[in-house]
Structure 1
Amino acid sequence: MVRINLLPPEIIEKRIFEKRFAWVLLAGAVTFAVIAVVWVFLQWQVSQKNNELQQNLATYQQVQAQAEAFKVFELKESELAAVRATADKALAARVDWARITNEISLILPPEAWLTAMEADEESGLSMIGHILDSPTDIPDAGHKAVAKLLFRLADLELVENVWLISSVKSVETESEAHLLDFEVSTGLKKPAAPVTTSSVPAPPAQSTQ
């Protein structure tokens, strides 16, 4: 069976154009829909990143606030370390009078006693006293009891430069028989100031995202 198309060519071309235009519109609509979906997805990602950024900024501000609060303790620790260093230096340079007098009382022979003692950080110690002189010393002018006291003083850790100023026999009376009047001076050792270092901990490292 033979089909004969009696439509003019213009009408046929118009119908073909209409069909092509419909396909073009459909392709454009699909493309627009794809672009719209992609745009929405990208906007959602940007929103998520903005939310993360805001959370990170809030966390950073909290950490920064905590760090500022800890700076107060850091300053207090620095001040405490400075005060401790000053106190250590002052205490190290001072003379331990309690220790010195206690040690002198321990090494002082039982036959000796002090009648006067002057103490000064710069000039040292000056002691005046009496000591029993053994009548059996030969020769009697040896003053061995005073010499024993000098040796004991020289062995003290905080005492140096022990000097005998004088050692004479007391007036021969019934109450003062066999007594020696002595005067001794010594220098004082001052311990060296300890080397102090700061113990302030370094602030924690802060990281930003």
Structure 2
Amino acid sequence: MSTLTKSREEAAQTVLIPRVNLLPPEIAEATRFDQMKRIMAASIVGVFGVVILAAVVASFQVSAAQSELADAQATGTSLQNQVSQFTDVPKVFAEVQSAQAQLSSAMGNEVRWSTYLGDLSLTIPRNVGLTSMTIRQDPTAPVTSALGATGIATVSFEGQASSSKSVATFLDSLAKQKGYIDPYFTNATKSTGADAKNLVTFSASVTVTDEAKSGRFTQKASK
């Protein structure tokens, strides 16, 4: 017997048994409904978890934002307190400027006479001696020199010299001083008599100009 014939006989002997679903339709439908409920429950749980996670993240973000806002408000309060400490600065600055202006007005014509006295002691001729030196200065009243120039003060000298030439030399030394103009003598008398030493008694004056001002207070007020 061939192999093909044997296979055909075995196939003929195979009996097909039909599959019959004995479950009622209601039970099958209930089973499917339960499966759908489980799927929906799982979906709801998943969605609820996502919502909770989003709420937690949002809560952290809100907390961080509130913390940053609190820090910013604290910084603003601190800066405002610092600013309030300097509210009087403009007033104080204005008072300082006013005081400087008053000082400049009161001392703007200051002449450092000590400097001029020191220079005078170094430049006066050896054969000239001074008996007095008078300074006349009025900030509200300018002076006029013998030659018509305007100045801020007048310095008058009285003294004795060995000769009229020595008096002229003294006047020349005054003319070389910074801030002095138009030196001239108002009187010169030569002594006579048995006890006289042929000395010339003289009176002289010089006009002081703005160039003699120290400028100390006006410079400070202008800065």
TM, length-normalised to structure 1: 0.73
**2 CA distance for matches of 1:185 and 1:97?**
15
> Aligned with 2:186: secondary structure?
strand
- Measure, in 2, the Cα distance between the counterparts of 1:2 and 1:40: 58
1:132-151 CA-to-partner distances (Å, cap 9, x unmatched) read 12xxxxxxxxx211110011
Q: 1:197 to 1:145 in 2, by over 3 A?
A: closer
| Alignment of structure 1 residues 173-188 onto 2, 5 Å | 173-188=193-208
Q: Residue type matched to 2:169 in 1?
A: K
Return the letter of the residue paired with 2:82.
Q
Which residue of the partner structure matches residue 56 of structure 2? 40
Q: C-alpha distance in 2, partners of 1:112/1:63?
A: 72
CA deviation digits over 1:163-199, x for unaligned, max 9? Answer: 22232323x112333221222111113335327565x
Q: Residue 49 of structure 1 aligns with which residue? A: 65
Do residues 156 (structure 1) and 177 (structure 2) align? yes
- 2:219 maps to a residue whose letter is P
Over 3 Å counting, the alpha-carbon distance change for 1:197 and 1:54 in structure 2 is farther
CA shift for structure 1 position 60: 3.2
Q: Is this contact kept in 1: 2:157–2:203, CA < 8 A? A: yes
1:13 Cα offset (Å): 2.9
RMSD: 2.9
Consecutive unaligned residues in structure 2, runs of 5 or more:
1-16, 138-151
- 1:140 is matched with none
The match for 2:160 among 114, 118, 130 is 130
Deviates more, 1:69-78 or 1:178-187: 69-78
Paired amino acid for 2:160: H
Give the equivalent residue in structure 2 for 1:194: 219
2:34 counterpart residue number: 18
- Show CA shifts across 1:44-88 (max 9, x none): 121122113212322332243234335557765665566456546
| In 2: Cα distance, 1:35 partner to 1:48 partner | 20
Identity of aligned residues (%): 25
Structure whose CA Rg is larger: 2
- Structure 2 distance, partners of 1:68, 1:175, is 83
Gaps of 5+ in 1: 134-142, 199-209
**How many residues are aligned here?**
188
**In the TM superposition, what is the alpha-carbon distance from 1:9 to its structure 2 partner?**
3.4
Q: Flag the 1:196–1:3 CA change in 2: closer, same or farther, 3 A.
A: farther
Q: In 1, are the aligned partners of 2:100 and 2:220 still within 8 Å (CA)?
A: no
DSSP-derived class of the 1:184 partner: strand
User: Cα–Cα, structure 1 residues 65 and 188, in superposed 2: closer, same or farther, change >3 Å?
Assistant: same
